[in-house]
Amino acid sequence: MSRIPELYASMCFNDQVMKERLPEDVYRSLKKTMEQGKSLNKEIADVVANAMKEWAIEKGATHYTHWFQPMTGITAEKHDSFISPTGDGKIIMEFSGKELIKGEPDASSFPNGGLRATFEARGYTAWDPTSYAFIKDDSLCIPTAFCSYTGEALDKKTPLLRSMEAISNEAIRILKLFGKEEKRVLATVGAEQEYFLIDKKYYDLRKDLIYAGRTLFGAKPPKGQEMDDHYYGTIKPRVSEYMKELDLELWKLGIPAKTKHNEAAPAQHELAPVFTTSNISTDQNQLTMEVMKKVAEKHDLVCLLHEKPFDGVNGSGKHNNWSISTMSGMNLLEPGDSPQDNAQFLLFLAAVIKAVDEHQDLLRISIASAGNDHRLGANEAPPAIVSMFLGEELTGILESIISGEEYVGKADAQMEIGVHALPKFPKDSTDRNRTSPFAFTGNKFEFRMVGASESIACANYILNTIVAEELNQFANHLEKAEDFKKELNRLIKKTFKEHKRIIFNGNNYSDEWVLEAERRGLLNLRKTPDALKLFTDEKNIALFAKHNIFNQNEILSRQEIQYENYVKVINIEALTMSDMIRKDILPAAGVYEKDLINIIKGKKEISDKIPVTYELNTLERLSSLTDALFAKVEKLDKLVIALKNTNGAEEKAFFSSTVLVPFMEETRKIADEIEVNVSAKYWPFPTYGELLYGV
Ligand code: ADP
Ligand code: MG
């Protein structure tokens, strides 16, 4: 495998390629743009575009596309070829700076939550020069942000870029107070991605997987994940072949795929890359999900990224590892070696603690989706309650800071801010709690509530913004302080004391925690609409405005889009469920019933003495179950109509979460009971056993 270093990033127009291919002054100018987040001038853009085109053509590319992340959740691309007719029947391959910097896709078919009605239908995409261009399917893909002509964000990338700016600005101010001059501070992210792999031949026979991405039915197989024998288990040959090709494809794109292993549920796996700045990480994660699906098809597999493809076994999430660092790579969440660094660390830590406590709602909103609702609080993922894990050691230190008493712990020292250095927190002492939604893991935080199929952009623009807000408040306060050290001490102590309630080191999956959290006054926003409703609270509108993330219109439109999206998902699931019950499940049960009737009749014809207990009992049971299921499907169809007749996205969303979803769960139970009683020969879909153990 000596060719990996050459292969790596061969399809990515990264720093090294730019250095090689751009005139030195252009390279420097572009670098400056990237480092300072400034816009690119036209002359420079022309040179960069030309170099990019030459490079792309050498790699076989014929088209270019502005690659962006609209609110649909997937990435969008419209491909234009490089060809430009010369008038004599020939063509040349062209790509200008203008085409690189700005594109104009028709914005009208993307969800915009009402922004289109008030503003122009057309939007534009603008190159984000801090994320590298790459080649995919013979197209040069240029990572871009997508805005309306009046500048409103129509995508997930724009708020992320804005939030990176906000956190950078505020962190710079804090660092300055500690005597450090920095031009830019970066939010960093490493997103661990969970997924399921199933055999395509089974997938093709399941309408629920095809339409809804998850199973809407399925009786539990005799074996689930109770043996804990899949997590880190030996990887099956077919899966291993898939993983190898996946790594190769990702490496070519410059995505540093690092770790792969089996996850807790059968057929579930994980991939983790090496972290990078949050916008690049977001792009890379989007791309990773796409490549995962594509490579799977080549192996006659299907990669499921849904948060809850199967009932009864773990769903899939994404662990969003987050930190902030300086351009030179100093991690600001790394406890320092010196008392000075220690104080700085504690201040950043205080900011994160305060941010998470004050903005529990926003963190919950940032990961809210129909799919993720099945996961959160289902004893396999953190509950819908946001809290923080700091580990005993760090919590002990905070306690001693709050009380002013001696810290008796491994560190064996009285913790005084700015006087004592913090002990190092080895990873194994900070990472034992796997149930926390937001865990400190030694030098970063791991936000574990993100759903597997979601873009990590939302989680990260929220994280960046809420922490930027606290840093802003701290900087405002400390910049005015006459005695910096004294004020710093007071501020850290006060913050820890006031926001202690958000820290919970215990088992987040337990029922006691739900009660305890309620006592502490923490939010428990169980379903997506409960969370979304708070998006437009005054507090949030003011926060986003202050940091130039969103204006009020943009928030309203996002809320609307998320409500609509939620409703659409539930609606599709309801329709699919109805279809499968009427066209497949009830008829299959009927065929089996007919068999039973024939057997009973046949036996009776021969002799009254032949027992027919099994046939009769099963027939009776199936008949009542099919009747019950029929009643449910009749009602389900009525509920779908009622949903359609409900006015307003918010009302529709609440109708879905409070009426439809629970009703579908009841309906499913009956269908699964039927599956248990019908001959395997007649069951119209592959079973859970086949799906989960069939590869
Ligand atoms: P786990 O035990 O959760 O699998 P790892 O140490 O393997 O943890 O790291 C998980 C992820 O965290 C990786 O993607 C890694 O690159 C990322 N990570 C490490 N340091 C940072 C950091 N400073 N900022 C953001 N992500 C980081
Ligand atoms: Mg992890």
pLDDT band for position 42 (50/70/90)?
confident
Q: What is the pLDDT of residues 145-188, one digit of tens each?
A: 998 888 889 999 999 999 999 999 999 999 999 999 999 999 99
CA angle at 321 for the pair 319 and 323, rounded to the nearest 5°: 160
Q: What is the pLDDT of residues 256-281, one digit of tens each?
A: 999 999 998 999 999 999 999 999 99
Beta strands at 268-273 and 139-148: parallel, antiparallel or unpaired:
unpaired
| % residues pLDDT > 70 (the chain) | 94
Helices 552-580, 613-645: crossing angle, 10 deg rounding: 150
Residue among 350, 337, 38, 32 at smallest CA distance from 174: 350
Residue among 165, 96, 48 at smallest CA distance from 547: 165
What mean pLDDT comes out for the span 455-468? 98
Q: Cβ(447)–Cβ(398) under 8 Å?
A: no
**CA 194 to ligand 1 center in whole angstroms:** 14
Q: For residue 74, give the DSSP letter.
A: S
Distance (Å, whole) CA 520 – CA 515? 9
Per-residue model confidence (pLDDT) at position 406? 57
What mean pLDDT comes out for the span 325-333? 94
Q: What is the pLDDT of residues 554-589, one digit of tens each?
A: 999 999 999 999 999 999 999 999 999 999 999 999
To test ligand 1's pocket by mutation, which of 274, 443, 444, 448 has the most ligand atoms within 8 angstroms of CB? 444
**CA 192 to ligand 2 center in whole angstroms:** 6
pLDDT band for position 222 (50/70/90)?
confident
What mean pLDDT comes out for the span 582-611? 97
Helix, strand or coil for residue 324? Answer: strand
What backbone phi and psi angles, to 5 degrees, belong to 143?
-65, 130
pLDDT(674) > 50: yes
Any atom of ligand 1 within 6 Å of the Cβ of 275: yes
What mean pLDDT comes out for the span 53-62? 96
Per the prediction, the chain carries an average pLDDT of 92
Among the bound ligands, the one closest to the CA of 276: 1
CB burial of 381-410 (b: ≥16 within 10 Å; e: otherwise) equals: bbbbbbbbbbbebbbbbbbbbbeeeebebe
**CA 426 to ligand 2 center in whole angstroms:** 15
Q: What is the pLDDT of residues 353-408, one digit of tens each?
A: 999 999 999 999 999 999 999 998 777 777 899 999 999 888 988 888 888 765 55
Q: What's the pTM?
A: 0.94
Any atom of ligand 1 within 6 Å of the Cβ of 277: no
Among the bound ligands, the one closest to the CA of 261: 1
**CA 56 to ligand 2 center in whole angstroms:** 36
pLDDT(429) > 70: no
Distance (Å, whole) CA 412 – CA 423? 9
Per-residue model confidence (pLDDT) at position 140? 97
Per-residue model confidence (pLDDT) at position 693? 95
Write out the residues surrounding ion ligand 2, Cβ under 5 A.
319
